[in-house]
Amino acid sequence: MNDQKPVGINKGRTKIKLSTLDLFFLSFGGQAPFISLLTFGTVMISLVGTQGAFAMLIATAVVALNGIVINRLSSRFKRGGGYYTYAYYALTERLGTSTGWVYLAYALSYGGTLLAGGAYVLYSILRMLPFTPSILLNQWLLALIVSGLASTLVIAGVKASAKYAMIMSTAEMIALVSLAIFFLRDSGWHFYNPFNISLSSSLFEAVVFGLGIPTGYGSIAPLGYDASSKSIGKVAVAVVFYGGLLAVFFFYSLGALDFTGNLVQYLLSDFGIAGAIILGFISLNDGILGGMSYILANSRTLKAMSEDKVFPSILAKDIKGKPLYAEILIAGIFTSAVVTLTNFMGLYGVFVILGGLAGIFNLFIHSSANLSLVRITAKRAKKHWWELTIGILATLVSIVVLLYSFTGFSPIMINIFLGWIVLGFFYLEIKEMLSSTED
């Protein structure tokens, strides 16, 4: 383990800008609940049908374990950088750097999924409206609009992002609860036992997609430069249960209808043109909200890694209290990646590929965080037995889900996942060789 004591790490700390309430709405916005339920939910339902609520309960339990781990780790680390910082100081520098490298891909794939999902729902709605200009049916253009707006909010400042998140997240909460009640009413108030079912062979794959719904804390863990570690820890747990149970209620109401189709098409057919316009507006803002949260998170992770000379130090430089160069670079990468992929495979294809990758990368970085907590607490196991138990349990669950889910994913997803890890290894080795040559 690194010699530096985690509690003493304050490197690069700037004045706290975000309150606990700001963090909650940013984290809930990072879930992009409306888009996540429509897009991840459509895939989950296609895999397990009416078992969606049960799969969501399992996903929430897995995410909650990891949320508790982040809660305990954030109380020990005062520096920004999230998962990278945890592994860098709790495990080894090399494992920390590898974790940071994987987190960069995780945030890009998860944030990119939400951006593509928002644009896809918007595209589906615009295609149904008779007065839509043909230019707005270009999928790559919609991807550019959503990504560009998210990037603009990030560069405008973290407080502006938080205020936007607060307004739009509140509107989404109201919309999702209203929709769930509407589905139950349509079912004739059919209440059922979600546990009295035979398990589907695709349950684990559905769970991995479900992990992407309540994992909002993944977007706030790196924000130690902008918020107190105590607030990050509180929100990491609260947002999982709030978002996860809201999703369970949503899927339960769909199960009451015995619904197994495309959720986007179902909503559009039920609510007509006026409803489509409202859903389109919510989807646009939700995609912006989710992408914005992960651009922020990735820029802070990049800043922390740049402070440690993993990347050029200019990316760690603060301008007017924020890492502007890191934000611009990350925003450019997000926008370029989503727009380019959309041009080749369409918005839905981008969503499926990036959504699967987000699930795999998610389990990897959380396994690293879980091991970090185990390593920190193992030396004083009697005093920290509860945290040690949580760390071990979370590690085992994450690894089991990761291994079981591998068989359900396409070879291209697994190859991208493994290829990214190998690319990071070569990057670090080449960088180390060049440093040795200069010395």
Give the mean pLDDT per block of 10 residues along the chain (439 residues): 46 63 84 77 76 85 84 80 86 86 92 88 81 85 92 85 84 86 86 73 76 76 81 86 88 82 72 75 84 90 90 87 90 94 90 82 84 85 82 82 70 85 85 69
To 10 degrees, what angle do helices 263-307 and 158-186 make?
Answer: 150
Residue 255 belongs to a domain: yes
- What pLDDT does residue 10 have? 45
| Residue 210 to residue 363: CA distance in whole angstroms | 12
CA dist list (Å): 384 to 379, 387, 430: 9, 5, 40
Two structure tokens written together for 404: 């079981």
Residue 12 belongs to a domain: no
- What pLDDT does residue 342 have? 94
Q: Which amino acid is at 200?
A: S
Residue 4 belongs to a domain: no
DSSP-assigned letter for residue 313: G
Residue 438 belongs to a domain: no
Residue 9 belongs to a domain: no
Residue 15 belongs to a domain: no
Strand locations in 206-271, DSSP E? none
Q: What CATH number corresponds to the domain at position 131?
A: 1.20.1740.10
- What pLDDT does residue 2 have? 53
Residue 48 domain boundaries:
20-189+199-428
Residue 48 belongs to a domain: yes
Query: 194-222 in b/e burial notation, b at 16+ Cβ within 10 A?
Result: beebeebebbbbbbbbbbbbbbbbbbbbb
| Residue 14 to residue 353: CA distance in whole angstroms | 36
* Alpha helices (H) in 379-410, listed in sequence order: 385-406
How many domains are there within the chain? 1
- What pLDDT does residue 104 have? 93
> 322 has which bridge partners?
319
Alpha-carbon torsion 403, 429, 420, 94, what sign? Answer: positive
Residue 14 belongs to a domain: no
pTM: 0.84
Q: Which amino acid is at 316?
A: A
Q: What is the DSSP string of 334-348?
A: HHHHHHHHHHHHHHH
| Residue 208 to residue 179: CA distance in whole angstroms | 24
Residue with tokens 């591998």: 406
Q: Which of 207, 164, 206, 251 is nearest to 59 (CA)?
A: 207
| Residue 209 to residue 217: CA distance in whole angstroms | 16
Two structure tokens written together for 395: 């590690």
